[in-house]
């Protein structure tokens, strides 16, 4: 059944009017017509099953049949701090990590960033909306405005001062295996082994889905400097390796998130 994102402000019980690009997409691309059903989601976990009353390029009018909470989200709150990448690479990282379930994305300006500023944040936010729709997610991850590395670390440290900072900085010139790093985070935090945590995690995530915020730092094309890695380590980040081969940043971001989710039992 087709899905479309409509901001919560426009969602009201009864009838919803969908206009503009979304109306054209539904009527011309998906060829939705009167009588078809459509899932409308607000990007905050609410979904509506609706029926199309009218459909043309200018406007699609639907009536709500049923409201339900669609929870397809990962129970692990992963925040990705990604060194700014040039060209399409950042678009790709944002699209793929949204599909995977990341909760927030912080574009980071580091010592070796080839880009010191960008005007692409609106574009990236559009990519997360489209990628959330396509992957059937119930929320749309937040894309922050770009910030400097030190500001990013301060933000993460202040936001979760109450929780031990649970972060991995990925460094191709050193670091421990990702399975050991995850083990360190969970044991440090709860005293349980990763196996216990695996079981506990499933229980705790039903009880408290936000029980595991994890921050992942991936560098830009030129990588992190040794000094940046040291600063992050001093703030509690674990220097982590993704193996002996040097991955492109976009490969590293996708692999790191997939491995963390798998090790913590999210991907089955």
Q: Which residues bind ligand SAM (CB under 6 A)?
A: 170-172, 175, 218-219, 221-224, 241-243, 245-249, 252
Smaller CB distance to ligand SAM: residue 75 or 219?
A: 219
Smaller CB distance to ligand SAM: residue 60 or 249?
A: 249
Smaller CB distance to ligand SAM: residue 170 or 215?
A: 170
Q: Which residues pair with 44 in a beta bridge?
A: 139
Least separation, in Å, of the C-beta of 215 and ligand SAM? 13
The residue ranges of DSSP E strands in 127-268, in sequence order, are: 142-143, 147-148, 167-170, 176-177, 214-218, 237-241
* Other C-beta atoms lying within 10 Å of the C-beta of residue 191: 9
Rounded Cα gap, residues 233 and 219, in angstroms: 15
Least separation, in Å, of the C-beta of 116 and ligand SAM? 17
* Other C-beta atoms lying within 10 Å of the C-beta of residue 49: 16
Residue nearest to ligand SAM (CB): 219
Least separation, in Å, of the C-beta of 246 and ligand SAM? 5
Smaller CB distance to ligand SAM: residue 79 or 171?
A: 171
Q: 122, exposed or middle or buried, with CB in 10 Å at 0-12, 13-18, 19+?
A: exposed
Least separation, in Å, of the C-beta of 2 and ligand SAM? 36
């Amino acid at each position: 059944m087709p899905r479309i994102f409509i901001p919560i402000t426009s969602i009201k019980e009864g009838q919803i009017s969908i206009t503009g690009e979304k109306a054209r997409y539904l009527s011309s691309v998906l060829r939705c017509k009167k009588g078809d059903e459509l899932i409308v989601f607000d990007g905050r976990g609410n979904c509506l099953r609706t029926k199309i009353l009218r459909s043309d390029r200018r406007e699609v009018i639907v009536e709500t049949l049923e409201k339900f909470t669609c929870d397809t989200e990962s129970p692990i709150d992963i925040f990705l701090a990604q060194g700014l990448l040039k060209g399409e690479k950042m678009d790709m990282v944002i699209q793929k990590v949204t599909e995977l379930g990341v909760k927030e994305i912080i574009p980071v300006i580091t010592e070796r960033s080839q880009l010191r500023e960008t005007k692409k944040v609106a574009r990236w936010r559009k990519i997360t909306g489209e990628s959330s729709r396509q992957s059937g997610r119930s929320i749309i991850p937040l894309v922050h405005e770009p910030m400097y590395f030190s500001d990013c670390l301060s933000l993460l440290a202040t936001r979760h001062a109450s929780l031990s900072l649970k972060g991995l900085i990925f460094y191709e010139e050193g670091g421990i295996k990702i399975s050991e790093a995850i083990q360190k985070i969970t044991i440090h935090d709860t005293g349980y082994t990763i196996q216990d945590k695996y079981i506990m995690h499933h229980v705790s995530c039903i009880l408290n889905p936000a029980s595991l915020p994890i921050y992942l730092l991936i560098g830009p094309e030129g990588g992190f400097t040794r000094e940046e890695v040291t600063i992050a380590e001093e703030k509690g980040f674990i220097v982590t390796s993704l193996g002996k081969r040097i991955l492109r940043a976009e490969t590293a971001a996708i692999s790191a998130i997939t491995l963390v989710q798998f090790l913590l039992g999210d991907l089955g």
